[in-house]
Structure 1
Amino acid sequence: MIRLLVLPAFVCFIFSTNLSAQIQDSVQMLMGVVLDSATQKPLPYANIYSVTKKKGVISNEDGRYSIDISDLGPKDTLRFQYIGYKSRNLSISQLSENTTVYLPEEIVDLNEMVVYGSAPDARTIVENVLEHKDENYKKTTSRRQTFVRQKYINRVEHIGFDYKKNDIEGLKTTDFKNVAKNFPKITTSFSDYLIDIYTDKTLEDSVKVDPIRYVMLKEKDMVEVEQFLEIFEREFAKTDTDEYWKVKTGILSEKLDLGDTTQSARDSADAGKIKVKYTNWRVRYQLKYPTLENDDFWEFLHKPRKYAFKLIGGTRVNGEDVYVIDFEPDNSGLYSGRLYISTNTYALIRADYQYAPGKDGLDFSLFGVTYAENAFSGSVLFEQHDGRYELKYFSRKRSNFLSFDRNVRLQKKRERFLFDKKQKELKIGLDVTFQQEATFELLVLKRQQIGQSAFERFDQPEYFKPIYVDQFNDQLWKGYTIIEPTKQMKEYRKRKN
């Protein structure tokens, strides 16, 4: 976190068609793909589960799946479900011959669904989602075992430093030149982790995280960058209790949190450990997305007058009748996509959407900073449990452009009665331009309601130790339920110096 605040530049850090079951040691994995039977296109985030064992997985963005069948026999059945499509039950024996599964679309005319009577217009249905949100998505104090995948690809177009003033011991002009020269043009980060997420229904935004397993693809070793940052860490470690550091650009400034610059924290970093609080912050931030409360991401729910909605039919999801509604911008709307909304409760069961053709997100250029969001797609799935709807899965993908050309000051100050005294200062002109693609996926595997006392008793650990790898492989998550890695992740190898 500190490194990103100090130097914004460092932010910019298919298988074959038919796959047979694979046996590795005592774990047997069945791997394949789910396709639309008419178009042959992959069905992302399809639900695949064992009818007898009540366990399942979600297909990835390419429609590919991988499920542990070690405890299943040839006659046991897997059910393949995708909202708006006819489900298929296939035995392990059938799947061992062909693991490509084709699902036919099943959206029927509303007149064929007797329970509807006369359906309201599409916009009225959509407006009812937020009207009934609190009663449909009731908060609970719970523990959810969750699989999370993060992917970042940064393409640096330009990075440069204009060295202006320096009071930092050991820092030289050549250090800046080496970083600018050797910083990689493309940096890639893949992280998969399994965690328990504890939430408290009585406290807003209250989350605790317990890491179970964490796998990270470590990018190319950047020796010059690491040595460069170590200079700052040594300086931060010398900060007294009445001193602090801040980053300033123009009239904007922010104090740095130096909580992880103690000797013990640096020793932990040397041992390959990472603070759990940063994973907590990231998960807590991302979990705000499926609450439907953000009127930017969920503009079509909060400002439906900006959109044209079309009720194209109905379908059934886990025994529940559901409206199927397509939407696109009518006036100044931003998104287009498809919604699945319960006919009885008006709960949003599923949403799949993206920027509409010709539309972009936030776009501004001011005082040397240019930012543009040029791509977005989102998908969310809820399941009904005991009269309420629980998050099962969501995915959020974004692509943005950033150009930053401003003077930046890093200052060390000592607190005083009237005006704090400046102790040291680093002033540089920072000029960086990069593109970033970011994906965050979250799959809830198990959920359990817990008491308030159980939540309070759990102490979030301070550190966890990831497994660092140069390439993803099937052995890394053997015996665990995960989202199948994409082809891109499987084929990517860490670049060498």
Structure 2
Amino acid sequence: MNTKTTFFFLLASILNFTNQYGQTVSARILDSISKEPVPFATIQFAENSGVISNSEGMFSVILNAPKVATDSLIISCMGYKTYKTLLKQFKDSVVHLSPQNITLKNVVVTNKNYSAEELIDLVKDNMDKNYNTSLTQKRLFFRDHYHQYINRTNYSDFESTIEAFDKKFVDNLLNSVPKSSDYYTETLADLYGDFTKDKQKISVIKASKMYDKNKELDFEILEKKLEKILHDNVKPDSYLKVKSGIFGTKIDNDELFGNQIDSTDVDALNKKLEEEKKRKENEKLYFANGRKRRISNLLEDLFFMDDSNLNFISKSRKYDFAIQELTYLGNDVVYVVNFKPDGGADYKGTLYINADDFAIMRVDYENVKSLKTFKLLGVFMNEYLDKGKMIFYKDAKGKYNLRYLEKEHGGMAGAKRPLKIIEFNKVVKGKNRQNELSLKFDAAATNINKYEIVIYDTQDIDNSKFDGLKEDNTIIPTYLANYDPEFWKGHTIIEPNKAIKAFTATEEITE
């Protein structure tokens, strides 16, 4: 779908009501003065229910239940006046928010002028009572974007005793590896439990995966050709010795090619088919459990969790804090506090602290140095990227719940080493050494994961309900060769950005 078609689809969605999907409310949020997009604004349409505008200020929500004339749509963002209107009157494709800033000099929030360090101490003192860590049912949307690009794949001093495995074939093999690839997974689910991975259950409602299959197919063709070359040239009772510098390992023939099945062996074929059937049946469970583990890891790293890597609160003495200004989030007055390392700490960022109850309502953070590095004997790793944000809202009980989480994590790894692969065979008469391949390689790749979670409905549950829940996940992700706005029709998600909308495979393949 092109940009023009997408625009008319969104416009039609704003004005349309259907019995199947209810009312679709979509718009873009802009700063009334600069006309720039307002990202990560909170759009609330029912108690404990809401969504977040994306990085381009876009949002779209589905209101499934019949709405009455008094129901409202409320849009709020740090530093802006709250926008409020009746749902039945909302027909705008663009919402302009007006800035609303206040200064420390003009407003007396309390009867004491706190220092930044005193504010952080008050945050700590009120942490347990401010955040809801009890059992809940959370309706959430999880977007996982994996991006990889190859920095370099160089080699030299190539030698091979296998005629078919020549330099031209190696060049073709390396050229077939995608220099850049993207893999998107989107999941709508109900998550039950608290913020610890040991007490969580998931029910997947719908999911999609989007990537370019053709890039994988090109590489698979060469992989099969490589396997055939080795199969034709490596003797059945041989083994391979792989050496890189002073290190070496032995690979038996069956490890290299797997257990080859004779097409006339009916029992072996039936066993293989049964294993494939079981693998497909387990795929549904693997997907759901994989999503649950990934979400659990992200939730366990919330700044108020005991073992969080984000230690700017738990180890605040390692950081310098400075109050920058006061601003509004809705009707709440909020301290804007910047932090940076005092010595060897890892992060810098901004905290938005409620002046009334000292809850952190939002945090933006990024690392200031590599979190992990490794370099030894030509092998290296650099975990250089870790940044994100968390946004919370207060429920009717005065507890803060997570509304939005974003995290971007990346690293680069590679090696610059000699490599030698030697075929040995003790059965063949004469010399044990049969074939040999050697080269010096210099390869590196960068991997970046970006995660987004929006929780747009949170309800408390008790232990009996949690214990009685049985995970029965039968959903596997639907493959999409390109972005399809119809796929999520009828569901509230965080709007995709331009990069997602523009993604398309080389050639669409369906499965």
2:457 maps to 1:457: no
CA deviations on 1:212-268 (whole Å, 9 max, x unpaired) are 100111323313655759x99xxxxxxxxxxxxxxx999999xxxxxxx98656336
- Offset at residue 393 of structure 1 (A): 1.3
Compared CA separation, residues 345 and 468, structure 1 to 2 (3 A): same
On the 8 A contact 1:21/1:29 being kept in 2, the answer is no
1:80 aligns with 2:75: yes
Residues of 2 paired with 1:265 and 1:105: CA distance? Answer: 63
Return closer, same or farther for 1:207/1:98 CA change in 2, 3 Å cut-off.
closer
CA–CA distance in structure 2, aligned partners of residues 25 and 300 of structure 1: 47
Q: Which residue does the alignment assign to 1:434?
A: 445
Q: Which moved more, 1:394-403 or 1:306-315?
A: 306-315
TM-score after normalising by structure 2: 0.71
Q: Do structure 1's residue 346 and structure 2's residue 358 form an aligned pair?
A: yes
The structure-2 alpha-carbon separation of the partners of 1:215 and 1:445, relative to structure 1 and needing over 3 Å to count, comes to same
Residue of structure 2 in register with 1:494 after alignment:
505
Report the alpha carbon displacement of residue 345 of structure 1 after superposing the two structures with TM. Answer: 3.5
Secondary structure of the equivalent of 1:464?
Answer: coil
Q: Which amino acid aligns with 2:322?
A: K
Instruction: Verify the 8 A CA contact 2:27 2:92 in the aligned structure 1.
Output: no
SS at match of 1:112: coil
Task: Say which of 27, 46, 59 aligns to 1:32.
Answer: 27
Distance in 2 of aligned mates of 1:219 and 1:63: 28
Confirm or deny: 8 A CA contact 2:210 2:479 kept in the other structure. yes
1:118 aligns with 2:112: yes
Please give the alpha-carbon distance, in whole angstroms, between the structure 2 residues aligned to 1:139 and 1:45: 23
Change (3 A) 1:138 1:90: closer
Match of 1:206 in 2: 199
Q: Distance in 1 between matches of 2:442 and 2:320?
A: 42
Q: Does structure 2 conserve the Cα–Cα contact (< 8 Å) formed by 1:179 and 1:224?
A: no
Q: Which amino acid aligns with 1:35?
A: L
- Given candidates 491, 502, 508, the residue that maps to 1:480 is 491
Using the size of structure 1 for normalisation, the TM-score is: 0.73
1:355 to 1:42, Cα distance in 2 relative to 1, 3 A: farther
Alignment of 1:147-296 (within 5 A): 147-159=141-153, 180-199=174-193, 205-221=198-214, 222-223=216-217, 225-226=219-220, 228=223, 266-267=276-277, 273-274=283-284, 275=286, 276-293=288-305
2:263 matched residue in structure 1: none
1:374-416 alpha-carbon deviations (Å, 9 max, x no partner) = 444311012223243222211111333222457999xxxxxxx
Q: Retained in 2: the 8 A contact 1:140–1:200?
A: yes
8 A contact 2:41–2:76 mirrored in 1: yes
Q: 1:433 to 1:481 in 2, by over 3 A?
A: same
Q: Give the match's secondary structure for 1:101.
A: strand
Q: Give the C-alpha shift of residue 344 in structure 1.
A: 4.0
Amino acid of the structure 2 residue aligned with 1:44 = P
1:120–1:490 distance in 2 versus 1, CA, 3 Å: same
Structure 1 CA distance for aligned equivalents of residues 350 and 365 of structure 2 = 6
Give the superposition deviation at 1:206: 2.3
| TM-superposed deviation, 1:485 | 0.5
Which amino acid in 1 is paired with 2:199?
S
**C-alpha spacing 1:176/1:273, structure 2 compared with 1 (3 Å):** farther
Distance verdict in 2 for CA 1:462–1:407, change over 3 Å: farther
Q: Once the 2 structures are TM-superposed, how far is the Cα of residue 179 of structure 1 from its aligned partner? A: 5.1
Q: 1:94 to 1:399 in 2, by over 3 A?
A: farther
Tell me the amino acid that sits aligned with residue 102 of structure 1.
L
1:28-51, CA deviations, whole angstroms, 9 ceiling, x for partnerless residues?
534332233344432221111236
CA 1:432–1:495 in structure 2 vs 1: closer, same or farther (change >3 Å)?
farther
Q: CA deviation at 1:487?
A: 0.7
Distance in 2 between residues matched to 1:252 and 1:136, nearest whole Å: 55
- What's the CA shift for 1:318? 5.8
Which AA in structure 2 matches 1:267?
K
Output the amino acid matched with 1:457. Answer: G
- State whether residues 190 and 203 of structure 2, in contact with CA within 8 Å, keep that contact through their aligned partners in structure 1: yes
Question: What does residue 7 of structure 1 align with?
Answer: none
AA in 2 matched with 1:478: K
Match of 2:253 in 1: none
Partner Cα separation in structure 1 for residue 248 and residue 470 of structure 2: 36
Instruction: Give unmatched runs, 5+ long, in structure 2.
Output: 160-164, 228-242, 250-270, 421-437
**CA drift at 1:61:** 1.7
What is the alpha-carbon distance in structure 1 between the residues aligned to residue 113 and residue 198 of structure 2? 37
CA contact (8 A) 1:129 1:347 kept: yes
Aligned residue identity for 1:476: F
**Following TM superposition, by how much is the alpha carbon of 1:325 offset from its aligned partner in structure 2, in angstroms?**
1.4
CA distance in 1, matches of 2:373, 2:415: 14
Question: In the alignment, which residue of structure 2 is the partner of 1:312?
Answer: 324
In the TM superposition, what are the counterparts of 1:360-439 in structure 2 within 5 Å? 360-385=370-395, 386-404=397-415, 432-439=443-450
2:482 alignment partner in structure 1: 471
Q: CA deviation at 1:80?
A: 1.3
**Secondary structure in structure 1 of the residue aligned to 2:507:** coil
Distance 2:57 2:384 in 1: 24
Relative to structure 1, the CA distance from residue 496 to residue 279 in structure 2 (aligned partners, 3 Å threshold; closer, same or farther) is: same
Question: In the superposition, relative to structure 1, how do residues 431 and 223 fare at CA in structure 2: closer, same or farther (>3 Å)?
Answer: farther
Structure-1 separation of matches of 2:273 and 2:439: 28
Moved more, 177-186 or 395-404: 177-186
Given the superposition, is the C-alpha separation of residues 407 and 35 from structure 1 closer, same or farther in structure 2, using an over 3 Å criterion? farther
Alpha-carbon separation, structure 2, partners of 1:73 and 1:449 = 25
Rg larger in 1 or in 2?
2
Query: What is the count of residue pairs matched by the alignment?
Result: 438
Q: Which position in structure 2 is the counterpart of 1:43?
A: 38
Residues 272, 466 of structure 1: 8 Å contact kept: no
Change (3 A) 1:160 1:462: farther
1 CA distance for matches of 2:124 and 2:504?
45
- AA partner of residue 293 (structure 2): W
5 Å matches for 1:442-453? 442-453=453-464
- Deviation at 1:160? 7.7
- Using the aligned pairs only, state the percent identity: 24
- Per-residue displacement from partner, 1:189-226 (whole Å, max 9, x unpaired)? 1111111112258x763222211100111323313655
